């Protein structure tokens, strides 16, 4: 019991500590006043864009499923994806695991359930890295002294090379298969090749991933307008994608604390006061929770609620299932 809950307690503690660090030198009365007086029209626009983000994400996953020759329809994919988004409030890893479990219990094979979610996550992160690298010239024009300009071009090349390498892992020497992590990636290799070779679906997944990241920047821009923060849409498109990338690190609950600190630094480059940037990050997090919560209602109405142990071990179960199929063949 302690072992299961300790990571969540650590993440919760880290979130609290990071939030304190972000707001320690900020006038909390002014910050609360700014958040409380947000323009309701802009807040509604941000929430609408947040719902659109879930539709975009479900479409992205469905394209991966099509690439893997699954007959799972877009109508089936949407509620399963939405459930995963709700559980991602805690951490993205939990959201993905719940989506794998729910997809399998909605008719997908165990292998496709796991591999499709993993590939969708990989392509989403790759799209984010490519977007940040593509926007870097605009960032340098806006903020000439930004450090680490070589990082994202290098990550882009590494991401593309990594995807190509992943697609060939099942051709590794059998002697390396004694490691569980290698066996798991080997079972993913064939589906990775399918995604790459079926260009309309693979390229479509990447394009939709990039559109999704741009849409999140629109959410931030709508919130900034509502909070009367002086930033442009271009500023949000340039500065927010690196924040999203940092939030893929599963070290806090729903990104709280980590997001606010990074936004203070990033938006500080274009003259946004620390208090305004922190409130903007906090409002983004809260609006994300609001748009994710209906996924919990879908989960409750679905009538299938597994034990945590079933969700935690679904990837291992998929690996064992794939090995049995290989032996049977």
DSSP 61: H
Kindly report whether the global pTM for this prediction surpasses the value 0.85: yes
Closest of 54, 105, 59, 71 to residue 296, by C-alpha: 54
CA distance 218 to 53: 10
Cα separation, 254 vs 287, in Å, equals 12
Which whole-number Å values give the CA distances from 155 to 125, 129, 131, 169, 234, in the listed order?
A: 11, 7, 11, 20, 23
Whether the per-residue pLDDT at 329 is higher than 50: the answer is no
Higher pLDDT, 203 or 182: 203
Q: Count CB-CB contacts under 10 A for residue 287.
A: 20
* Cα–Cα distance measured from residue 153 to residue 54, given in angstroms and rounded to the nearest whole number: 28
On whether the CB atoms of residues 254 and 89 are closer than 8 A, the answer is yes
pLDDT-derived band at 55 (thresholds 50, 70, 90) equals very high
- Asked whether the beta carbons of 254 and 90 are under 8 A apart, the reply is yes
What are the residues whose beta carbons fall under 8 Å from the beta carbon of 183, sequence distance 6 or more? Answer: 177, 319, 323
Domain ranges, ordered by start, for the chain: 13-324
Q: Express each pLDDT in 84-128 by its tens digit.
A: 999 988 778 889 999 999 999 899 998 899 999 999 999 999 999
Question: pLDDT-derived band of residue 169, with 50, 70 and 90 as boundaries?
Answer: confident
């Amino acid at each position: 019991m302690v072992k299961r809950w300790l990571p969540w307690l650590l993440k919760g503690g880290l979130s609290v500590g990071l939030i304190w660090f972000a707001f320690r030198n900020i006038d909390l009365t002014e910050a609360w006043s700014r958040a409380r007086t947000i323009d309701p029209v802009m807040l509604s626009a941000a929430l609408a864009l947040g719902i659109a983000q879930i539709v975009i994400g479900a479409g992205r996953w469905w394209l991966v499923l099509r690439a893997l020759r699954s007959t799972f329809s877009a109508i089936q994919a949407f509620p399963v994806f939405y459930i995963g988004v709700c559980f991602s409030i805690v951490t993205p890893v939990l959201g993905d695991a719940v989506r794998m479990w729910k997809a399998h219990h909605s008719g997908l094979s165990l292998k496709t359930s796991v591999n499709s979610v993993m590939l969708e996550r990989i392509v989403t992160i790759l799209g984010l890295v490519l977007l940040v690298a593509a926007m870097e010239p605009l960032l340098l024009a806006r903020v000439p002294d930004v450090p680490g300009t070589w990082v994202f071009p290098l990550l882009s090349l590494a991401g593309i090379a990594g995807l190509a390498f992943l697609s060939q892992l099942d051709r590794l020497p059998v002697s390396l298969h004694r490691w569980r992590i290698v066996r798991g990636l080997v079972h993913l290799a064939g589906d990775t090749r399918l995604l790459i070779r079926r260009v309309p679906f693979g390229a479509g997944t990447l394009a939709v991933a990039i559109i999704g990241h741009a849409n999140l920047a629109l959410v931030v821009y709508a919130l900034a307008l509502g909070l009367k923060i002086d930033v442009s849409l271009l500023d949000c498109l340039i500065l927010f994608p690196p924040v999203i990338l940092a939030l893929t690190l599963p070290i806090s609950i729903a990104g709280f604390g980590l997001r606010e600190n990074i936004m203070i630094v990033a938006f500080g480059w274009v003259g946004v006061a620390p208090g305004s940037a922190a409130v903007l990050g906090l409002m983004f997090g809260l609006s994300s929770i609001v748009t994710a919560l209906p996924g919990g209602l879908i989960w409750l109405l679905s009538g299938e609620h597994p034990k945590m142990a079933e969700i935690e071990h679904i990837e291992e179960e998929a690996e064992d299932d794939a090995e049995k199929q290989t032996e049977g063949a």
